[in-house]
Structure 1
């Protein structure tokens, strides 16, 4: 999930949130007022070509609004500068939010062409605002006295954003920063499109003889994927995690596992037209130059200066504190899996495409836990209902499906969200199934974010997943990791839906990158609670709840595999951090850098990074998580300690704790510094040991 802060927005377009655009007489449906229920986008009423005119009109409108603010001859005030900036760009924000959500969730060659064209244009536009000397002088002149706490916070955030963009530097420096921003936007768009091209193009077609070991639900999903690709009667494995990972886990065909895994690992690095390695080298050189121009030793130092962590050294300290016990656990697990591998009659060493298969075998042997028996109890529909019910019990929310609302695909779900008094809170969209036009992964975003600047504006929020589509007439069945992902992204969605602030730039998830994962990761904990699973984990055929022994084995096994999971994540975070601490990229070879870094930290040979550089979208498709992929772990310190408060209270829905969580986190946006938000909820500092305990790494392997 990625959304930029402040009126100085980037080309991702995910900062949707201003009031509706002024009425226009244009025939373009994107420029006319959206008269749909609750003002949701008018899906079906526009074509990709409409976006070009809409962007042109919206950019010109925003330019005029900013010029009027910058050139206002009257004394600078909060209202005529900062609040005016919050009101400016409504049309552009609305059009961008729609466009970039579609370009991620349901793209097309037409949308991709527009994205390539618009990325540098939008980057230059926002940099021109951030580097406008007259505008910056107006912001600097706004009196800091007589402001509400929220206004003071917004003023501080705007000043920080402008300084970090380069405002006040010599003209030639600002011009170079603008060029860098435009080029980085182009590179980021190309990077994401290259990954999608590799993911969409690759498939492995199978016949009946190739299905050894695959459970019924995976066979059905592979058959459905084959039908969608014009190969009825066959089975297809794609590079979607929802198909690939269970295939790696269950298939007894080592040759096919190796083929699929190698394709997955090589995305964006196949030496063809979609190879991202040159993009990475140029991106890193430009980021390093940007950091130097802004007075920082490295891009990591620049990026982290405005995060909770503050310094690369603090991040490295956290990552290494987790890395060492995780590596020890993973190496012990690797030896145990190697023994199973040899016992199967194989020679040589365990490979990365073997790990999931033998880890599942080990769980069956040692813990009497077979995930093939688990999935029939984890119906997508029931897991959605579980996420909704937890929100009801914590925050009083009700979700009512609205099939009348426009949607971008027929299988997208739309819900109206209301509070305990029946008041409208938000519109929530769920886009759950994978498709070739959707980028991989799972995320939350907004078509419109919340604000109360000129009357109450409630948000339109979306969760996007990539679950395998079930065969016709069959329910979608999830792995437990899939269900956890659903809860994670729904936690982000609640952060957007419950937002209750005045100014759009402070709304919802517009918080520090290493705090934004706290609400989402915290929400995952409720999935693991027996009273939630006993109610919603029901067999799709019989309706019976998950048997007590299975539930107990599931909960007891939560920390199994944490060595593997932590190592593949932390390795990605360490490579990201070290890469952005580097300053010299002349003749840079990302493959060599990856190998050297993993050698330095002692990466177990049978595990690879969760995200290898060629497809590391978090880091290179824009800079949302650049030198900040550690954020999930930083936030995990908070979520582990935060849920301990509910657990220790004896009531996982404790009303007083839920109220503080609502007021200081989910509804509060960026009203206060993240540490103050945490203290408002937890009423003490976080305990870092809670992270190791949660992952079962607080004891020697």
Structure 2
């Protein structure tokens, strides 16, 4: 449970540095807006006042402040106790956490060249700061004293878990190594941090740099009207008005592969998508991947593990690579047979149409859609009108209300980092405040692919007050067009429910300590709440609650 590393490198909070949003004044010197808790409704980030110039000084001040806090704990002359060591450690770094949760969200949802450059500058500093904490022998000795003899401490189950998690984090961070090993580990961590950033930056550039521009209407054969309209909007935004543009965001490339009759264009778009980072250009990731793999192996072996997988899985439910392979092989036997059966069916369809070619990966979606219509008379385009994005979100809220008694109220007084973001207050059945929930659902050039949940602030009890979380969901779902609202595919509907399951995990957190809050659980267990939630999406009784035609209001048949 390396909480500081997770916060500084893994936070996926969101913000914007769009100057048009800076409607209010900043508070004094650069960075000072982060120096205290935000004086805003529910303590939400004041996106209308945060400037890009605030981040660097806030990070530096945050690291300096936490360093002083750590030194005070490590050099405390009193005997180590749970309160003066474990709790003090858990509560340290609040300024650094505050700025990290905001800044690193930008790296995920609204990045630009300045943000990426600053992240690269901060990367070695944050890596060193994290190592300075987890390789601090005085601090570890205090933790070890508590860990090795809990007699008479009367720790609760939660307190024991927190103490044990910190102890394991120090051990897994290399505190037991000799000095030469620690120095090498520090260098490995710095390199891994920089390489991981570079990998993500390259991937985003590859995603944004590619466009399939169509200027011949005949090349749109087979595409639904909504897909064509979205491509026309994309072309207009790209300065190609009168043409059609398809890119590597999922709502663009997937329906093209699913419906386009132009096999050569399907192949072109497919290869552009799946060859990202493998084009022998300035964004190539092959060497970066090789370096990351080798550094991970070296780090794992330095820490006494055979492989990186052994190191990672030790803290997950699976525990060992052997257990993972056992499960995968059990699934593989059935999955491979089914995949071969489906491939044979698709090949028959190709042959029946006179196609003189063997099924390729860029054909799969197209012929699977045809087969689905033939066998089941199921056309996903006919289903999408029943899944207007706003209705799907309302369906998610309704399920949460019926299952857990939660209520959602839209707020218009909370600063947001982008006009498309919406904010809700979440209250319990008795009306008490539980959380703030942000939604950000549409693709943008500065946003990573995929969908995720995280928080601008985690839940914990501090000074006797239950600090409630600020949780958000981010996605890349089908945009509205000039003539239709956002109409989601079945996959997108399932993803909305899935990510909301993660959001519930954060919203309903009710622990004392930040280090155990929300989704601070094994990485394979973290998918359980989301899997449970997504299974409600297409239950008949649930569909009746939200799946209504956006024009007629008719419930899905």
**Superposition TM-score, scaled by structure 1 size:** 0.75
SS at match of 2:436: strand
- Match for residue 14 of structure 1 among 5, 11, 28: 11
Shift of 1:218: 1.2
Shift of 1:324: 1.2
SS at match of 1:475: coil
1:566-613 C-alpha deviation (Å, 9 max, x unpaired)? xxxxxxxxxxxxxxxxxxxxxxxxxxxxxxxxxxxxxxxxxxxxxxxx
Distance 1:8 1:75 in 2: 27
SS at match of 1:422: coil
Alignment match, 2:218: 209
Distance 1:427 1:473 in 2: 32
- Match for residue 82 of structure 2 among 59, 78, 81: 78
Distance 1:212 1:301 in 2: 50
What are the within-5 Å matches in structure 2 for residues 478-497 of structure 1? 478-497=488-507
Distance 2:343 2:10 in 1: 43
Alignment match, 2:99: 95
Shift of 1:446: 0.8
Residues 1:31 and 2:31 are matched in the alignment: no
SS at match of 1:515: coil
Shift of 1:305: 1.4
Alignment match, 1:444: 453
Residues 1:285 and 2:294 are matched in the alignment: yes
- Match for residue 354 of structure 2 among 345, 352, 356: 345
Alignment match, 1:470: 480
Residues 1:535 and 2:507 are matched in the alignment: no
- Match for residue 362 of structure 1 among 357, 371, 386: 371
Cα contact 1:399–1:415 (8 A) shared by 2: yes
Cα contact 1:430–1:463 (8 A) shared by 2: yes
SS at match of 1:73: coil
Shift of 1:8: 5.4
What are the within-5 Å matches in structure 2 for residues 363-512 of structure 1? 363-454=372-463, 455-512=465-522
Residues 1:121 and 2:125 are matched in the alignment: yes
**Cα distance change on mapping 1:87 and 1:25 into 2, 3 Å:** farther
Cα contact 2:12–2:107 (8 A) shared by 1: no
- Match for residue 322 of structure 2 among 313, 322, 325: 313
Shift of 1:7: 4.7
Alignment match, 1:221: 230
Distance 2:274 2:540 in 1: 36
Shift of 1:368: 1.2
Distance 2:321 2:285 in 1: 26
SS at match of 2:526: helix
Alignment match, 1:625: none
Shift of 1:47: 2.0
Alignment match, 1:195: 203
What are the within-5 Å matches in structure 2 for residues 136-215 of structure 1? 136-142=140-146, 143-144=149-150, 145-207=153-215, 208-215=217-224
Distance 1:33 1:346 in 2: 64
Distance 1:517 1:225 in 2: 34
The root-mean-square deviation of aligned C-alpha atoms, in Å, is 1.5
Which structure exhibits the higher relative contact order, with contacts defined as CA atoms closer than 8 Å and separated by 6 or more residues?
1
Residues 1:43 and 2:40 are matched in the alignment: no
What are the within-5 Å matches in structure 2 for residues 245-256 of structure 1? 245-256=254-265
- Match for residue 243 of structure 1 among 241, 252, 255: 252
> Number of matched residues?
537
SS at match of 2:9: coil
5+ residue gaps, structure 1, are 17-23, 548-701
**Superposition TM-score, scaled by structure 2 size:** 0.94
Cα contact 2:208–2:445 (8 A) shared by 1: yes
Distance 2:446 2:474 in 1: 12
Q: Which moved more, 1:34-43 or 1:342-351?
A: 342-351
**Cα distance change on mapping 1:535 and 1:15 into 2, 3 Å:** closer
Cα contact 2:12–2:104 (8 A) shared by 1: no
